[in-house]
Amino acid sequence: MPKHIVRLIMSLGIVILLVIGSKALFTADSFGVYGHYRANAVPEIASDTPKYKGPDYCQLCHSERHATWSAHRHGKVKCEVCHGPAGEHPATGKLPIPSDTVKLCSTCHEAMPARPAAQPQIVVSQHSGTQACIACHNPHAPRIASSGGSDR
Ligand code: HEC
Ligand code: HEC
Ligand code: HEC
Ligand code: HEC
């Protein structure tokens, strides 16, 4: 056999050995137990504590606010959308009270052609300028009662 073919086969052999070797070395232990994935990933994910608890959890301690909130149109916007994920609250401290309401509320209410018409929209610069939205609106019962109509 010509020399250069022998060298080619030898270097190919080295590459194959390297591939087999690194596969044995770097594949996680539980890979392939159930299928083409790392079996230990399943209990790892299952043991994670959820960061978002949902409004029913808040009701346990903030029942009055929960009652106001659920009776109004923001009852569809979950508490943690505005206050952030509860995690281990209250053990880990208070949840933040959003301070920049112009930014927070505009995320959902700034008028955009692509938004569903059912979602109330305003042009913030014409509606209230740079004023904080909570100067006039209660975030948990956003309709301004004095403007007439029902409080819903
Ligand atoms: C086990 C009772 C408990 C649960 C459940 C609970 N909280 Fe609290 N929360 C507290 C306590 C206690 C405080 C601290 C009150 C204080 O020091 O004035 C607090 C404070 C807060 C504050 C800050 C109030 C302030 O004046 O600074 C916010 C906002 C808040 N909670 C939101 C939530 C939300 C949203 C949920 C649901 C995801 C929730 N909490 C669930 C007990 C609870
Ligand atoms: C649309 C956003 C939004 C949602 C939804 C929302 N909040 Fe709030 N929350 C705010 C804002 C903004 C403030 C600050 C109000 C202020 O300073 O007058 C606040 C204030 C609070 C406070 C502190 C009140 C105080 O005066 O000390 C608590 C507690 C609280 N919210 C709990 C809740 C709970 C519980 C829910 C769900 C049942 C909820 N929030 C839903 C925006 C929201
Ligand atoms: C995550 C999106 C979201 C955020 C953030 C949000 N809203 Fe809303 N808001 C909604 C939706 C959705 C509705 C309409 C719910 C429905 O269809 O009944 C609504 C309704 C309203 C209404 C109409 C109430 C009525 O009864 O006609 C006002 C006013 C309002 N929001 C003000 C605010 C203010 C002020 C803030 C900030 C403190 C805020 N929103 C933050 C989604 C949001
Ligand atoms: C100076 C007072 C004032 C401020 C500040 C203010 N609003 Fe309003 N807003 C009103 C009044 C009055 C209405 C009409 C009465 C009602 O439906 O609550 C209204 C209505 C709305 C509506 C309902 C529109 C509709 O078509 O049904 C939305 C949404 C809204 N405001 C969002 C906001 C947001 C977001 C901010 C902050 C960027 C804000 N508002 C700041 C006074 C104010």
Q: What is the pLDDT of residues 125-151, one digit of tens each?
A: 999 999 999 999 999 999 987 544 444
In this prediction, residue 148 carries a pLDDT of: 45
Quote the ligand 1 centre to 90 CA distance (angstroms). Answer: 6
- Summarised one tens digit per residue, pLDDT across range 5-48 is 999 999 999 999 999 999 999 999 999 999 999 999 999 999 98
Full 3-state SS string of 9-76: HHHHHHHHHHHHHHHHHHCCCCECCCCCCECCHHHHHHCCCCCCCCHHHHHCCCHHHHHHHHCCHHHH
Nearest CA to ligand 3 atom 3: 108
Please state the pTM of the whole predicted model. Answer: 0.86
Nearest CA to ligand 1 atom 16: 94
| Nearest atom, ligand 1, residue 79 CA | 35
Cβ of residue 83 lying under 6 Å from some atom of ligand 2: yes
Cβ of residue 77 lying under 6 Å from some atom of ligand 2: yes
pLDDT at 152 over 70: no
Quote the ligand 1 centre to 150 CA distance (angstroms). Answer: 29
